[in-house]
Amino acid sequence: MILSDRAILAAMTDGRIVVRPFRPDCLGTNSYDVHLGPYLMVYRDGALDARRANPVREFRIPPDGFVLVPGQLYLGVTAEYTETHGYVPFLEGKSSVGRLGIDIHSTAGKGDEGFCNHWTLEMSVKLPVRIYAGMPVGQLIYFEISGPVGKSYSAKRSAKYRRVSPHPIPSRMQLNFAPRPRRR
């Protein structure tokens, strides 16, 4: 079941949902609007390697905006810090953003119960589009969980994205691979 605006506010009142900064005008009928933070990141190498940390270049979006181009993956970040306890958050792009041909996530639209951080956005575009820090990019939708959670995301040692950061966080896929034995 999806939480309504009143249920989201009730969960915020008792601390099960946290959004900072919170703006009442961003609360929709059954979602909360989030905005693009000031930082973007791009991978520096043409071919990425899932077994290693790939080098990145981070930059601040200029006040006059930045043009995203097709064929390039951009890592953005939400301006809002969020926490979700007892619910599963989903991040979906706003329809106005989609109608500009901007995708805000490739595969990671579902958060985990216990996720406490800014959301990294995996952004791509169909056509060149100028974007701006602070523009609305997505909406968080909260689902109820059926049954107790065994271990919250924030309590898992294996959770790769627990370090709180207002900057995009690149892939940490390399942590899923066992170290390779050294050749003698």
Beta-bridge partner residues of 10: none
What pLDDT was estimated at residue 124? Answer: 97
Contact 168, 121 (CB under 8 A): yes
What pLDDT was estimated at residue 109? Answer: 77
The residue from 80, 92, 122, 144 that is catalytic is: 122
**Burial bucket for residue 8 (CB in 10 Å: 0-12, 13-18, 19+):** buried
Contact 145, 16 (CB under 8 A): no
pLDDT, one tens digit for every residue, the chain (184 residues): 999 999 999 999 999 999 999 999 999 999 999 999 999 999 998 899 999 999 999 999 999 999 999 999 999 999 999 999 999 999 999 999 999 999 998 777 788 999 999 999 999 999 999 999 999 999 999 999 988 888 888 777 777 787 788 988 888 888 888 676 666 6
Give the domains, in start order, of the chain with CATH numbers: 5-47+54-145 (2.70.40.10)
Please give the radius of gyration of the chain, using alpha carbons only, rounded to the nearest integer: 17
Sign of CA dihedral 148, 151, 155, 158: negative
92 is catalytic: no
